[in-house]
Amino acid sequence: MHSFRQSLSYFSNPKLLTIFCFGIASGFPWVLIGSAMTAWLTDEGLSRSSVGLFGLIFVSYSINFLWSPLVDRVKLPVIGRLMGQRRSWIFLTQIAIVICACALSMFDATSQLATMAIVGLCLAVSSATQDIAIDAYRIDVLDQDDASMAAGSAMATSGWWTGYAGLGAIPFLLVDHTQLYWPQVYLVLTLIMSVLLIVVLVASEPKTNRAQQQDEIQQGFLQQVPQHPMLSSGIIASMLSLIALIAYAGFSFPLWPEQLIDRSDAASFSSVIGIGLLGLMFYLLKALHQQPQMASTSPQIQVNGLHRIIAWLLTTLVAPLHEFFTRNGTRFALSVLMFIFLFKLGEAYLGRMSLVFYKEVGYSNTDIAVFSKLMNWWVTILFSLIGSVFTIRFGIIKGLFIGGIAMALSNLIFSVIALTGPSQWLLAVAVLVDGFTGAWGSVAFVALLSVLCNRTFTASQYALMASIGTFGRVTLGSYSGVIVDGLDGNWALFFVLTALMVIPSLLFLYSIRKPLAKIIASNKQAS
């Protein structure tokens, strides 16, 4: 156990300042397609179900692991040589975010909702890709022990909330206290995102031997592919089919969100097919590794361009997933992923409908800006640091248990507001407690994902785990408005239900606590 002084010493690392600034750039796009967009659509008179289901553009964050291997492997022309692998991808995605934000300022929400959804989706994809590169940058630039990761998680969380809540208060204040309306406000937000580009230009690129290790893995596949072309092609076909299936389930929904409810059966059917394809891929991969090398007396097969492409695809798309399940064991890996899926589900339901709730109860845009944004910003930063010190001293697992229970209990305060009506002091209490519990849980959660990554596939594996967590929050959380409507607007009962949603994740965490503790301890010794 670290002493209090030792725990604080981890924050002397100057690299944490860059992580904090990248956290701001990561959180700010959620204002553009989250809180500001929700307020805009609500002010235009759209229904609760429409507002909630419009959030399905966030599905990009839940399936960004599909293209995360490209962030690990593809070197961008020109800027890749000038800036390095991580910084070049961050720079490219931030340019795309600026362009999309500017485009949103040109639309009318009542008559061009479908077009706004398309541009919002492009912005979400760019932001989700930026998150892949930023998360990989944070893990690559820090030591792999749990204490360093907890400190990095605290700075990343503080930065994210600075971008989301601190800067996120600006559009609400502008709408209430200036002559600007939402399209003009989005021009201001575009300018802010442009300023955030400066950070990536002055940051330093992390030094790793990732490329060498990936080349060695690719050479191993290259020895097998010419000898067993059918197995290799079957693995690639399974993986590409799985990618196409997940992308279809994520992006093929109609532009009008209300129609999504009629297609819920297709999503379940796609999940069954996806599990089958994943199992087939692992079976073929295992068979490929078990095949004996050809004897030296056998005629040598000439390696051609197709073999090299297949070997590159196997290294890029298949190896990260295979390494994660092989290193952790299939049963344990699935349990970890299930915990990640469930951990912040209740918080997502609350967060998606919080702005709608505030407005229906009777809070003004200024109240939302001051309490939900500005106050929550400072509370989250403060308790992210406190939570990280606790996590460094007592460990990630205890931090997750305490954070999960506290997040559930904090949701009940919103039930009190629903029963008593708008009160600024009660809103301040709710924001204070919710910010404290959310920050505490987030620090431990991000530290856990960081520790579980293999640095050879940092971007791929972190994106896989993070996107699974986001999948539960986005896809299921998008039905939060439907649930409130189904409860006839009974907000108090709705928030009680969100508090109960944490129980399954804590049961999963308890069941895997021992093997999880061993993995964390082994990483600490390796560092």
Rounding to the nearest 10 degrees, give the CA dihedral for residues 480, 482, 486, 488: 80
How much is the average pLDDT of 348-366? 75
The pLDDT, as a whole number, for residue 358 is 80
d(CA 77, CA 54) in angstroms, rounded, equals 35
Q: Which is it for the CA torsion 209, 20, 399, 127, positive or negative? A: negative
The pLDDT, as a whole number, for residue 200 is 94
* pLDDT confidence tier of residue 167, bands split at 50, 70 and 90: confident
Rounded (5°) CA angle 174-179-184: 65
- Please state, as a whole number, how many other Cβ atoms lie within 10 Å of the Cβ of residue 109: 17
pLDDT in tens, 440-482: 778 888 888 888 888 888 988 988 888 777 666 666 666 677 7
d(CA 110, CA 116) in angstroms, rounded, equals 10
The pLDDT, as a whole number, for residue 53 is 59
pLDDT in tens, 14-34: 888 999 999 999 999 998 888
Q: Is the pLDDT of residue 270 over 70?
A: no
How much is the average pLDDT of 26-43? 85
User: What is residue 345's three-state secondary structure?
Assistant: helix
Rounded (5°) CA angle 126-211-215: 120
The half-sphere exposure of 134 on its side-chain side, counting CA atoms within 13 A, is: 34
Looking at the chain, how many residues does it have? 527
Rank 3-7, 358-362, 433-437 by mean pLDDT and report only the highest.
358-362
Average pLDDT over the chain, rounded to an integer: 80
Which one has a higher pLDDT value, 373 or 179?
179
Q: Which of 159, 148, 126, 137 is nearest to 58 (CA)?
A: 126
For 17-73, give the DSSP string: HHHHHHHHHHHHHHIIIIIHHHHHHHHTT--HHHHHHHGGGGHHHHSGGGTHHHHHH
Q: Is the pLDDT of residue 327 over 70?
A: yes
404 and 509 Cβ atoms separated by less than 8 Å: yes
The pLDDT, as a whole number, for residue 71 is 92
How much is the average pLDDT of 305-318? 87
Phi, psi of 54 (to 5 degrees): -60, -25
56: which residues sit within 8 A by CB, 6+ positions away? 253, 257, 260, 474, 475, 478
The pLDDT, as a whole number, for residue 398 is 84
pLDDT in tens, 507-521: 888 888 888 888 877
- For the chain, the maximum distance between any two Cα atoms, rounded to a whole number of angstroms, is 85
Rank 260-274, 317-331, 378-392, 393-407 by mean pLDDT and report only the highest.
317-331
d(CA 478, CA 493) in angstroms, rounded, equals 18
Record the pTM: 0.79
The pLDDT, as a whole number, for residue 3 is 59
- Return the DSSP state at 10: G
d(CA 428, CA 432) in angstroms, rounded, equals 6
Rounding to the nearest 10 degrees, give the CA dihedral for residues 344, 349, 350, 356: 150
